[in-house]
């Protein structure tokens, strides 16, 4: 029985799984949205959220902890300079997994994993629209 076993093995050895998740995390932070299988997306979400939490701290020790997982220095600087401050006020829930459906070739369930509150998305922009509409309502009430 697998009671209490939290690590999803993904049919790989530990070193291959670690390398795959590291590469997927690098792609996720570079593009802020990737398409993968549903199981991989859920495994990636767990590790990516921990890395973003380190980026929120922003100190040297947190940077070195993230450097163990992400080898690309440009992605590391983006993580600490852009993503850490972006999620400073958010307590977890930095990623979203959207289910797509089965893949045509083998029927594996596909998903999109993306960072929430991305600039240029519909979720980030309505805040400005809501503020503008609230101001318009206040001016009409006066």
Residue 41 in contact with residue 114, Cβ under 8 Å?
no
What 3-state class would DSSP assign to 103?
Answer: coil
Q: At 38, list the tokens.
A: 């549903």
pTM of the model: 0.79
Angstrom distance (rounded) from CA 84 to CA 118: 13
The domains found in the chain, sorted by start residue, are 14-116 (3.90.1030.10)
Sign for the pseudo-dihedral over CA of 24, 28, 66, 50: negative
Tell me the per-residue pLDDT of 87-111, one tens digit each, with 9 for 90 and over. Answer: 999 999 999 999 999 999 999 999 9
Tell me the per-residue pLDDT of 15-65, one tens digit each, with 9 for 90 and over. Answer: 999 999 999 999 999 999 999 999 999 999 999 999 999 999 999 999 999
């Amino acid at each position: 029985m697998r009671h209490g076993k939290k690590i999803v093995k993904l049919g790989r050895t530990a070193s291959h799984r670690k390398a795959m998740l590291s590469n997927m995390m690098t792609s996720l932070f570079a593009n802020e949205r990737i398409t993968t299988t549903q199981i991989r997306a859920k495994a990636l979400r767990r590790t990516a959220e921990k890395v973003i939490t380190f980026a929120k701290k922003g100190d040297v020790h947190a940077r070195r902890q993230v450097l163990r997982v992400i080898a690309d220095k440009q992605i590391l600087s983006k993580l600490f300079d852009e993503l850490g401050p972006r999620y400073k006020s958010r307590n977890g829930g930095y990623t979203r997994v959207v289910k797509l459906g089965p893949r045509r070739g083998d029927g594996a369930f596909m998903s999109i994993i993306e960072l929430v509150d991305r600039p240029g998305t519909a979720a980030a922009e309505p805040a400005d629209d809501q503020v503008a509409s609230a101001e318009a309502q206040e001016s009409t009430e006066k």
